Chains A and B, each alone.
Chain A
Amino acid sequence: MRNSGTYAMKEKSSRWREWLSEHGSKLLLFARQQTRRQEDAEDILQEALVKLARKVDEGIFVGGQEAWMPFLYTQIRREAIDLGRRNDRRKKREDTVVEDEQCQSGGEDAWFESAGYDEERRSLLEAALKELPGKFSDVIVMKIWGGRTFAQIGDILEISMNTAASRYRYGIEALRKRLSGARIRGDL
């Protein structure tokens, strides 16, 4: 009996592992986009994953495995909002420290892998994406790297599908302007 329990745990464990290996990077990117610190991103991602595991194991999760990603995007966003409220005062103080640390370490906190891509352009695009207002980058990150539809993004962000589509377009347009500026300055 104990062996079967251990076996069941391994089965479950391997299921989480396999799933995390496939989807973890997309979720981590979204969590990073929602927070300013890598540590906070990992924390809120873990909180969201634990909530998913609890619901799945208790049999109260509504929907199948295909519904995990929308649930996690929603949950990550909520966790980020809660974290921001909880740590409002502390965050301001720590952000100053983090900014100082980033200045000292060159500010490198890459969201994307650089292999197989024009490093300079990747770096500029990433920087431009980080500078975008959150309401635009929310949609872009979920659409491009999360593979979500505008309808799903609208549900997650509690906005209409049309608003999600508009924000996506405005966001891409804003990125284009920033890259044009970089081209004029000779950065590209």
Chain B
Amino acid sequence: MDSELQKIETDLERMSPGSMPEGMIRRMEEAMEGWQEVPEQDEIEKVVPFPQEERSDRGETRSGWSLWAAAASVALLGGVAAMVLTVEPTPRKVVERGGSSAGDSTATMINPEALHTIELAPKTAKRTILDASDRDVIIPNGSRPMRLMRIDLVDRVVFLSPDGEEVHLEVPSVNYQLIPVPTD
């Protein structure tokens, strides 16, 4: 530290903090003596809201856990997922009442009879952490500080159709975790 900085440090050291007035010492002393009369605030449960400012920024799926749970349950429990697919969807003409079957009044619809189920076997399931960031340190009243971590994840599940085709399912999600911070 150069001499000019040391001079400022010396100047600061020469300044004395304002003394505690006698009345304040007495008040503090009385409060310390009467701690039994003060309710313990440490027991008050704190609700810490998660950060919300980025909710609309990234447009991420916040309910990714339910989707992942659905995908995982398919993979783990049965090993078979039933999915509804169409094979050559057949257009059906919809004729307006009292109208003609001209091209303007037709709409393409899925023919329910053309739908059938196929079985997809899960091939692989993998969870990848895309990003982990330190959001904040939360100190519940009187208790241990906790670090709020945001973890961006993506779950990738690959299914195999009977024809041998792979169907890839990707589910992004965001997870928040509280991690105790070491203190003295």
A contacts, CB < 8 Å to B: 9, 12-13, 16-17, 20-21, 24-26, 28-29, 42, 45-47, 49-54, 57, 70, 74-75, 78, 81-82, 110-113, 115, 117, 121-122, 125-126, 129, 140, 144-145, 155-156, 158, 169, 172-173, 175-176, 179
- Verify A122–B32 contact, CB threshold 8 A: no
Task: Give A135 to B170 CA distance when docked, in angstroms.
Answer: 42
Interface size class of B (residues with CB under 8 A): 35 or more
- Verify B28–A117 contact, CB threshold 8 A: no
Given A16-B29, A176-B4, A179-B8, also A29-B17 (CB < 8 A): yes
Which of these, A24, A54, A112, A129, contacts B28 with CB under 8 Å?
A: A24
Give B148-184 as 1s and 0s: 1 = Cβ < 8 Å from A's Cβ atoms: 0000000000000000000000000000000001011
- B82 at interface, CB cutoff 8 A: no
Which A residues are CB-close (under 8 A) to B145? 158
- Verify B183–A17 contact, CB threshold 8 A: no
Chain A, Cβ-Cβ closest to B40: A54
Which of these, B18, B38, B40, B181, contacts A111 with CB under 8 Å?
A: B18
Which of these, B8, B27, B33, B139, contacts A81 with CB under 8 Å?
A: B139
Chain A interface main SS type = helix
Which A residues are CB-close (under 8 A) to B20? 20-21, 24-25, 28
- Shortest C-beta distance, B43 to chain A (Å), equals 13
- B9 at interface, CB cutoff 8 A: yes
Task: Give A172 to B10 CA distance when docked, in angstroms.
Answer: 11
Which of these, A13, A42, A51, A172, contacts B8 with CB under 8 Å?
A: A172
Task: Give A27 to B103 CA distance when docked, in angstroms.
Answer: 85
- Verify A110–B18 contact, CB threshold 8 A: yes
- Verify A20–B25 contact, CB threshold 8 A: yes
- Verify B15–A117 contact, CB threshold 8 A: yes
- Verify A125–B15 contact, CB threshold 8 A: yes
Which of these, B14, B31, B181, contacts A158 with CB under 8 Å?
A: B181
Given contacts A53-B35, A54-B35, 14 further A-B contacts (CB under 8 A): A12-B33, A16-B33, A20-B29, A25-B16, A25-B19, A25-B20, A29-B17, A46-B28, A51-B35, A52-B32, A78-B141, A113-B17, A155-B183, A176-B5
Chain A, Cβ-Cβ closest to B184: A155
Which A residues are CB-close (under 8 A) to B96? none
Which B residues are CB-close (under 8 A) to A9? 33
- Verify B25–A24 contact, CB threshold 8 A: yes
Which B residues are CB-close (under 8 A) to A129? 12
Closest 3 CB pairs of A and B: A53-B32, A24-B20, A29-B17
Which A residues are CB-close (under 8 A) to B13? 144
- Shortest C-beta distance, A13 to chain B (Å), equals 6
- Verify B24–A42 contact, CB threshold 8 A: yes
- Verify A49–B31 contact, CB threshold 8 A: yes
Which of these, B4, B28, B141, B142, contacts A20 with CB under 8 Å?
A: B28
- Centre residue among B38, B139, B184 by max chain A CB count within 10 A: B184
- B76 at interface, CB cutoff 8 A: no
Which B residues are CB-close (under 8 A) to A144? 9, 12-13
Chain B, Cβ-Cβ closest to A20: B25
